[in-house]
Structure 1
Amino acid sequence: MRYLSEIKNKQITVLGLGVTGLGIVRFLVSQGLTPTVVDSRINPPGIDWLKQNTPTLTTRFGDLDSADLCASDMIIISPGLSLTIPAIAKAINAGVEVIGDVELFARINTKPVVAVTGSNGKSTVVTLAQQVLLAAGYKAALGGNIGTAVLDLLQSDLSNNDVDVYVLELSSFQLDTTTSLQPISATVLNVSEDHLDRYASYQAYIDSKLSIYNNAALVITNADDEATHSKAKSQLSFGANQGDYSLGEYQQQTYFMQANKAFLPVTSLAIVGKHNYLNALAVMALLSPFNISKTQYSTAFSQFNGLAHRCQFVAERAGVKYFNDSKATNVGATIAAIDSLATNGQQLIVIAGGDAKGADLNALTPYLQQHVKALICFGKDAKDLMALTNKSHLTNNMSEAVTLAKQLSEPGNIVLLAPACASIDMYNNYMQRGDDFIQCVMAEQP
């Protein structure tokens, strides 16, 4: 709390409203600070809350150039805003400190942090990690890029002392404004092309992810993905067939292995698929600093049924199974979904499309050729996806896509929504897109 006393007389600007911005404002006000609130939108989300709960705060909505950001001592910025926006870059060049909510959290927090980033699988890993910790008797709080904003978690802990360990999902955008976080363990699960509309190069995106290792006591790398590797002295790895935590055969079953010793059969995990087994291995490596028994792992694994919009089984209609993986917003995630559900032969009908954010889609081609019966495309970059295979079809929206999928499918097939793209061209978020898919599937007559 000493840090909050140090900045009490500083001119602090909260830049960007929405969930994160409101969380920052709530926290600062609760600690007796009075920030200025700035947003480029005239009517940003959260404005009604501000008017009702903090009517005396200075607000500046609209053109950022007129917000006089250079007059601030500190800007606490929402992750959706790029540091290269001219008004923000000008403030940085003028010596204004620009941090994110995770950095503010890191400067105040005194509890252990398990930190997770990566292109795919973050939400599953952090949620499962929290469940394991809870099963082991720890008071574990989950937040960051999933669920609750970190400062809301911190505020609750400061009031009630109800946290033993924080489990944080962190995006590259959040990491770009974070320098003080000191995780007890941290991982980059994997890296595939994403957000290239925001980063100068793919390497810049990778470097952003790798910054999570900077102050970590224990680094966890993916043995199968060189982009996640580190030169840290204290590290462990996980992988399908290699690493400190891996998959292996024991008594004619596939097991989760620790240092080449059988730990638990993969059947102890309620969710299936190779990518989920790798997620479980990552959890085991991340939680190695904690005292967790085999029984506690088994209990948590058996009770974890996965997350909505992440290879979520929707229904079986007329002998065809439908899966919603709307969270597959990049190529790597779509490949993982196809790989997880693929059987012998081309039984998959994949629905994809949206905003590819400048990513190279060509890595999908061999998976489409080997496992996919038809690729149904819609959205902003549909034509780029169609060019990957001669098995592609163009539609205008989700309803048309699901209707066509039903027409093309036969008993034994799987229809998979795995867009490989962001949803922002047609939806508010990937959850809304997934819900639309589910509604269309359930509206179809068997």
Structure 2
Amino acid sequence: MIVSSVFAGKSYAVLGLARSGQATVASLLESGAHVTAWDSNPASVEAVRASFSRNIDPPLGNIALLHSGGKLTFGDPMEIDLSGFDGIVVSPGVPLNRHPIAMRAKIAAVPIIGDIELFALARPTLPPHKVVGITGTNGKSTTTALIHHIIEQAGFPTVMGGNIGLPILSQPPLEPNLHGVGVYVLELSSYQIDLTHSLDCDVAVLLNITPDHLDRYDGFAGYVASKARLFSMQSAGNVAVIATEDEPSRGVAGKVVAALETVQASDIDPVEQLAWPSLQGPHNAQNAAVSIAVAKALGIDATTIAAALASYASLPHRMQRVREHNGVLYVNDSKATNAASTAPAIAAWPAIDGRPRIHWILGGVAKSDNLDECVPHYGNIAHAYTIGEAGHMFADLLRPHMAVDDSEMLSAAVRRAARIAQPGDVVLLSPACASFDQFRDFEARGDAFAAAVNALE
């Protein structure tokens, strides 16, 4: 885990005790900080209490002592006195535009930060290294994993962290080797960027910006401004890699202070792309173009880059091939939680001789009342199967354009698609929705899809 003397003797409140919150508590305690932890879910509080129970000597109710000089207490930041704290570390899931902790922290003059900011503060005490930060509305996880894979193939010490589901503070500090310094590769959501003030990325990446998470911002302009902050924190000697294929991204590119490298999907030779089995489709051309530019900025040679592109394996739940059954390919793209993210998936299998091939499973908790980004690719859809909370709404939207089965449940959609699909067709789960109506998260939804597919006889 990341441990730093910069936190020794300081006091932090940690609000939100899921994966990143637990990693934050552990890192701060190991660094000798005083931590007050809290979560609205009592089970999460108890999980943290149990993790550090060995350090309670003797048991003193709410207090755990003697953890590398640190002290752990439990208390709700909405109720305790915040004066004297060096920061309130909140989960990215805490909506600061609505949560009262924002005003309470402001009154107490205590900064609200995230685990990414703690990592940024710890950097001067870590071995020499570089940081690559990747943001964008869609494609972040694939690009993060691809960049990490290229760096790994080049022989550099490297770890992934951030929004990809791996808390950066739980990752090991990187030591330089014969190939060079270590490289931390961070997937950064807009929420995580909002909570850092000093992350100066050696290479910062912007893939695209389309409307998303607008419930957390003052309109689309506020969301764009959040993405732009990643580049405003960069030093002039660092590198900004931006895919300039949408107007908001071009606007961000026009204001960077770092050395600017612009790319587009069209930079990728379609014939060359055929040699990269897990990077098919125009969206992956953009991901590859960005990743190549980052690798070159890190000094990685073209031969190594080409070999890494060919050997890259796709992430779970992102255009993941689950099974081929009776000549039908089943693909899990559960991570596509909005229409802009789904559009590249349904563009990836065009109609052949005028015959559409995709059996599209979609639905869940809708982020908008339309599927506008998907409309240009409706000609690729043989049949749609809607599920979840948005199922009825999407079924009504799609019926004028294609055959629709309002399936409601994911398992029913898989069975019905399997009955209709013909050899050469693709059954694609690409929901264009969040998962929280029927599933814990998009991973659970993707796992349920894979289980239903593997149960087919």
State if a TM-score over 0.5 links the two structures: yes
Letter in 1 for 2:392: K
TM-aligned CA deviation for residue 294 of structure 1: 1.9
C-alpha offsets along residues 392-415 of structure 1, whole Å, 9 cap, x if unaligned?
A: 221221111111212332222211
Within 5 Å, give how 1:225-236 maps onto structure 2.
225-229=246-250, 230-231=253-254, 232-233=256-257, 234-236=259-261
Cα deviation digits, residues 9-62 of structure 1 (max 9, x gap) = 44321111011111111111111112111222222263354443554121026x
**Aligned-partner Cα distance in 2 for 1:196–1:302:** 37
- Structure 2 residue aligned with 1:150: 168
- Mark the CA change 1:6 to 1:127 in structure 2 (over 3 Å): closer, same or farther: closer
- C-alpha distance in 2, partners of 1:362/1:36? 45
Give the 5 Å matches for 1:91-130. Answer: 91-110=105-124, 111-130=129-148
User: Are 1:266 and 2:273 matched, yes or no?
Assistant: yes
Q: Larger deviation: 3-12 or 185-194?
A: 3-12
Structure 1, unmatched stretches of 5+, are 249-253, 256-264
Which of 43, 62, 74 is the equivalent residue of 2:87?
74
Q: Which string of whole-angstrom CA distances, capped at 9 and with x for unpartnered residues, describes residues 242-269 of structure 1?
A: xxxx124xxxxx36xxxxxxxxx22342
> Which position in structure 1 is the counterpart of 2:60?
none
**8 A Cα contact 2:327 2:424, kept in partner:** yes
How many residues are aligned here? Answer: 419
In the alignment, the residues of structure 1 paired with residue 432 and residue 239 of structure 2 have an alpha-carbon distance, to the nearest angstrom, of 32
1:348 CA displacement = 0.9
2:243 is the counterpart of 1:222: yes
Q: Percent identity of the aligned residues? A: 33
Could you tell me how far 1:103 is from its partner in structure 2?
A: 0.7
Indicate if the aligned counterparts of 1:130 and 1:141 stay in contact, CA closer than 8 A. yes
Match of 1:47 in 2: 48
Among candidates 189, 193, 197, match of residue 171 of structure 1: 189
Q: For 2:391 and 2:84, how far apart are their aligned partners in 1?
A: 45
TM-score relative to the length of structure 2: 0.86
- SS in structure 2 of the partner of residue 113 of structure 1: strand
- Corresponding position: 1:240 with 2:240: no
Write the distance in 1 (CA, Å) between the matches of 2:302 and 2:293: 13
The 5 A counterparts of 1:16-415 are 16-44=16-44, 46-55=47-56, 56=64, 57-60=72-75, 65-69=78-82, 72-84=85-97, 85-110=99-124, 111-153=129-171, 156-157=172-173, 164-216=182-234, 217-229=238-250, 230-231=253-254, 232-233=256-257, 234-241=259-266, 246-248=267-269, 254=270, 265-271=272-278, 272-344=280-352, 345-358=355-368, 360-368=370-378, 370-390=379-399, 391-415=403-427
Q: How far apart in 2 are the matches of 1:281 and 1:199?
A: 30
User: Residues 318 and 270 of structure 1: is their aligned pair in 2 closer, same or farther, counting only changes over 3 Å?
Assistant: closer
Contact 2:362 2:430 (C-alpha < 8 Å) held by counterparts: yes
RMSD, aligned α-carbons:
2.2
User: 8 Å contact 1:69–1:87 — kept in the other structure?
Assistant: no
Q: Partners in 1 of 2:369 and 2:115 — Cα distance?
A: 28
TM-score under structure 1 normalisation? 0.88
| AA at the equivalent of 1:316 | E
Q: Deviations over 1:37-92 (max 9, x none)?
A: 1222222263354443554121026xx53244466341111111122301333222
Deviations 1:422-441 (A, max 9, x none): 11111111111111111111
Gaps of 5+ in 2: 57-63, 65-71
